[in-house]
Structure 1
Amino acid sequence: MSFKIAIIGAGSVGFTKKLFTDILCVPEFKDIEFALTDVSEHNLAMIKAILDRIVEANNLPTRVTATTDRRKALEGARYIISCVRVGGLEAYADDIRIPLRYGIDQCVGDTICAGGILYGQRNIPVILDFCKDIREVADTNAKFLNYANPMAMNTWAAIEYGKVDTVGLCHGVQHGAEQIAEVLGAKSLRELDYVCSGINHQTWFIDLRLNGRKIDRDELIAAFEAHPVYSQQEKLRIDVLKRFGVYSTESNGHLSEYLPWYRKRPDEITRWIDMSDWIHGETGGYLRYSTETRNWFETEYPQFLEAASKPMDASKRSNEHASHILEALETNRVYRGHFNVRNDGVITNLPRDAIIESPGFVDRFGINMAAGITLPEACAATCMASINVQRMSVHAAISGDIDLLKLAVLHDPLVGAVSTPEEVWQMVDEMVVAQAQWLPQYAHAVPAAKERLSKSTVKTREWAGAARRSVRSIEELRAEKAALKQAV
């Protein structure tokens, strides 16, 4: 087979390498072309050198090109994969820093909450530019695979306004299933069957079978509470399991910021999180992790390049959906996964226009969703709160309506649990002004926002958050890795 895959945001070096090697694990895909594109020539050069080294080491006919000209990369592409973070770590830092001034403590801030909503405002105009290029220069039947957060908002915009065949992909379901299999004592993940459904980052394991035996709520609670690690790292997640009766896909830290109950006061935050790793609830944890990862990669790049010289091992193909979807579409080897698509009745008690994450099967005929799923009422209610925020956020990003943007932030569950309307109005003004270079749709609103800020009487404070850690230096990271290696 010979076709072209374009990767937008290919400068996400580690993830691009994973997608590349996964796809090349499919025997029929050796003779394809990867067109890499990114706004950073520096990052493009690094990832192209790594991928070229992989091709050379494995004696493959695969072609790899790299360009900052996005349209050129998209020309004739059958599949387009997006891994972009518009504004990079600079804008992301404001997504965490500014809400903290108003008492809003986020762990990740990339899905909803104040940070996730502003992230969507930056991404959506760019996503629509991608869609325009796809319609104009890509293959007639091109499929857009979006990995970028905020997943639901980006996918919603691409489908409703970009008019491109789009699917959103995430790995939260797989990670949650791995945890469940472990606590239940499964010898292999293949022993666990499950139906997981909801919306991205708020997906729920509504049916679990271990070797065909149905697992009920009480057995799952007992298994998690008995686990020596997860019982400490996933305290909030286990509490939700007890109250809702089903387990959420999302990590302790992520889940904590989608709900109005666990991060509303500093003492509550420290009660429910675990500081053994950022993903369990640390304030701004993913920002710290991303910053350290970038610094580490820049410093240790020669080692990454050297590692790329080793032969690929197909047995280490990851469970990221992309390669499996492409394999099913191109070879008709059926793949079952969980995909982000427009609902259109797949989940009976969520709106038709919402972007849901639910089981589907892929073959030559496309992605075929399993329809007629009904969520437990509490799960549906929690999803609905986020869907309403997502819908307003998408429409605000399209229209450049700053008042609608403020209403979207106001209705966010965690923001609403912490902040007053006056605080939300000022916070959004502050975030739009700070991020104006990435928010062209709000250019008309920036002067008035600056004027309001100059006269504001709403009090703020400089606050690091309830559980903030400093970014570690390269020397500290080296020492930690050396200690872990010695311990093993």
Structure 2
Amino acid sequence: MSFKIAIIGAGSVGFTKKLFTDILCVPEFRDVEFALTDLSERNLQMIKSILDRVVEFNRLPTKVTATTDRRAALEGARYIISCVRVGGLEAYADDIRIPLKYGIDQCVGDTICAGGILYGQRNIPVILDFCKDILEVAEPGAKFLNYANPMAMNTWAAIEYGRVDTVGLCHGVQHGADQIAEVLGAKSRTELDYVCSGINHQTWFIDLRLNGRKIGQDELVAAFEAHPVYSQQEKLRIDVLKRFGVYSTESNGHLSEYLPWYRKRPDEITRWIDMSDWIHGETGGYLRYSTETRNWFETEFPQFLESAARPIDPAKRSNEHASHILEALETNRVYRGHFNVKNNGIITNLPQDAIVESPGFVDRFGINMASGITLPEACAATCISSINVQRMSVHAAISGDIDLLKLAVLHDPLVGAVSTPEEVWQMVDEMVVAQARWLPQYADAVPAAKERLSKSRIKTREWAGAARRDVRSIEELRAEKTALKQAV
């Protein structure tokens, strides 16, 4: 088979390499062309060098091109994969730093909450540019696979306003299933069957079967509380399981910022999180991790390049959905996964215009979703709160209506638990002004926002957060990696 796959934001080096090697695990895809595009010429050349090394070592006919000209990369592409972060780590730092001044402590800040909403405002205009190019120069009927967060907002905009055949992809369901299989003592995840449904990052394991035997709430709670690691790392997640009756796909840190109950006071934050790794609730944890990862890659690039000279092993193919979807569409080998699409009857007790994450099957006829799923009422209520925020956020990003943006932030569950309306109005002004270069739709609103900020008397504080860690140096990272190797 010979077709073209374009990867936008290919400078996300580690993830691009994973997608690339996954796809090449499919024997029929040896002759595929990969067109890489990114704003950074330097990052593009680094990832191209790595992928060229993979192709050369494995003696494949695969073609890899790299260009900062996005339309050239998209021209004739059958599949387009997006893993962009508009504004990079610079804008992301503001997503964490500015809300902290108003008492809003986020672990990740890329889905909803103040940081995730502003992230969506930056991404959506760019997503629509992608869609315009796809419709104009890609292969007719091209499919857009979005990996970029905020997943639901980006996918919503691409489907509703971009009018492109889009599916949103995440790996939270797979990671949650791995945990459940482990605590239940499964020999492998293949012994676990499950139905998981909801919205991205708030998806719920509503039916679990281990070797065909149904697993109930009490058994799952006992298994997690008995686990020596997860009982400490996932305290909040286990508490939600006890109260809601079902387990959430999302990590302790992610889940904590989608709810109004666990991060509203500093003493409550430290009670519910675990500092053994960023993903369990550390303040700005993903920002720290992302910064360290970037610094490590830039310093240790020769090592990454050398490690690319290895055989592609299909047994090590990851559980990221992209390669499996492409394989099913092109070869008719059926694949079951959990995908982000417009609801339209998939989940009965969520709004029909929402982007939901739910089970589906892929074959040559496309992505076929199971419909008629009903969530437990508490899960639906929590999802609806986020959906309302997402809807307003998408509409604000499209219209450039700063008042609607403020209302979206005001209705966010965690923001509403922490901040007053006056604080929210000022915080949004401050974030829009700080990120103006990435927010063209708000250009006309920026001067008035600056004027309001100059006259504001609302007090803020410089606060690192309840559980902040400093970015580690390259030397500290090297020492840690050495210690881990010696321990093994």
Cα distance per residue 1:359-387 (max 9 Å; x no partner): 00000000000000000000000000000
In the TM superposition, what whole-angstrom CA distance separates every residue of 1:164-194 from its partner, at most 9, and x where no partner exists? 0000000000000000000000001000000
Question: Aligned partners of 1:134 and 1:463: how far apart in 2?
Answer: 43
Alpha-carbon distance in structure 1 between the residues aligned to 2:188 and 2:23: 23
Shift of residue 233 of structure 1?
Answer: 0.1
The SS at the match of 1:77 is: coil
Q: CA deviation at 1:54?
A: 0.3
The aligned counterpart of 1:358 is 358
The Cα offsets for residues 282-327 of structure 1, whole Å up to 9 and x where unpaired, read as 0000000000000000000000000011111111000000000000
CA distance in 2, matches of 1:309, 1:238: 42
SS of the equivalent of 2:206 reads strand
Q: Give distance in 1, aligned partners of 2:310 and 2:211.
A: 37
Q: Shift in Å at residue 22 of structure 1?
A: 0.0
> Quick one: distance in 2 between partners of 1:157 and 1:311?
39
Match of 1:113 in 2: 113
Q: Helix, strand or coil: the match of 1:283?
A: coil
- Superposed CA offset, 1:100-140 (max 9, x none): 00000000000000000000000000000000000000000
Render the CA deviation track for 1:342-371: whole Å, top value 9, x for unaligned: 000100000110000000000000000000
Identity %, equivalent residues: 91
- Give the superposed CA RMSD: 0.2
Write the distance in 2 (CA, Å) between the matches of 1:326 and 1:366.
10
Distance in structure 1 (CA, Å) of the matches to 2:95 and 2:380: 27
Deviations 1:47-97 (A, max 9, x none): 000000000000000000000000000000000000000000000000000
What CA distance in whole angstroms lies between the structure 2 residues aligned with 1:137 and 1:17? 25
2 CA distance for matches of 1:123 and 1:192?
Answer: 36
Distance in structure 2 (CA, Å) of the matches to 1:285 and 1:236:
16
Deviations 1:245-301 (A, max 9, x none): 000000000000000000000000000000000000000000000000000000000
Matched, 1:188 2:184: no
TM-score by length of 1: 1.00
- Off by >4 Å, runs of 4+ in structure 1: none
Q: Residues 396-455 of structure 1, C-alpha deviation per residue, up to 9 Å, x if partnerless?
A: 000000000000000000000000000000000000000000000000000000000000
1:252 equivalenced with 2:252 (yes/no): yes
Distance 2:158 2:427 in 1: 28
Per the TM alignment, residue 478 of structure 1 is displaced from its structure 2 partner at its CA by 0.2
CA deviations over 1:24-66 (Å, ceiling 9, x no partner): 0000000010000000000000000000000000000000000
- 1:207-233, Cα deviation, whole Å (9 max, x unpaired): 000000000000000000000000000
Aligned positions of 1:187-266 closer than 5 A = 187-266=187-266
SS at match of 1:336: strand
The Cα of 1:159 is off from its aligned counterpart by 0.1
Distance 1:253 1:433 in 2: 28
Q: Describe how 1:324-473 pairs up with structure 2 within 5 A.
A: 324-473=324-473
Q: Distance in 2 between matches of 1:122 and 1:317?
A: 32
The answer to which of 333-342 and 308-317 deviates more is 308-317
- The separation in 2 between residues aligned to 1:16 and 1:484, in whole angstroms, is 26
C-alpha distance in structure 2 between counterparts of 1:211 and 1:2, whole Å: 40
Distance 2:83 2:254 in 1: 19
Shift of 1:484: 0.8
Indicate the SS of the match to 2:300: helix
Gaps of 5+ in 2: none
Q: What is the alpha-carbon distance in structure 2 between the residues aligned to residue 169 and residue 399 of structure 1?
A: 26
> 2: distance between equivalents of 1:165 and 1:5?
15
Structure 2 residue aligned with 1:293: 293
CA shift, 1:241, in A, is: 0.1
Counterpart for residue 35 of structure 1: 35
Partner secondary structure for residue 361 of structure 2: strand
CA distance in 2, matches of 1:415, 1:339: 28
Which sections of structure 1, spanning at least 5 residues, go unmatched? none
Whole-angstrom distance in 1 between the partners of 2:25 and 2:130? 27
Q: State how far apart, in whole Å, the 2-side matches of 1:191 and 1:487 are.
A: 31
Q: Distance between the aligned counterparts of 1:308 and 1:220, measured in 2? A: 40
Counterparts of 1:152 and 1:284, CA distance in 2: 21
Q: CA deviation at 1:388?
A: 0.0
CA distance in 1, matches of 2:373, 2:393: 26
Give the Cα–Cα distance (whole angstroms) in 1 for the partners of residues 315 and 335 of structure 2.
17
Q: In structure 2, the residue corresponding to 1:348 is in which secondary structure?
A: coil
CA shift, 1:465, in A, is 0.1
State TM-score, norm by structure 2: 1.00
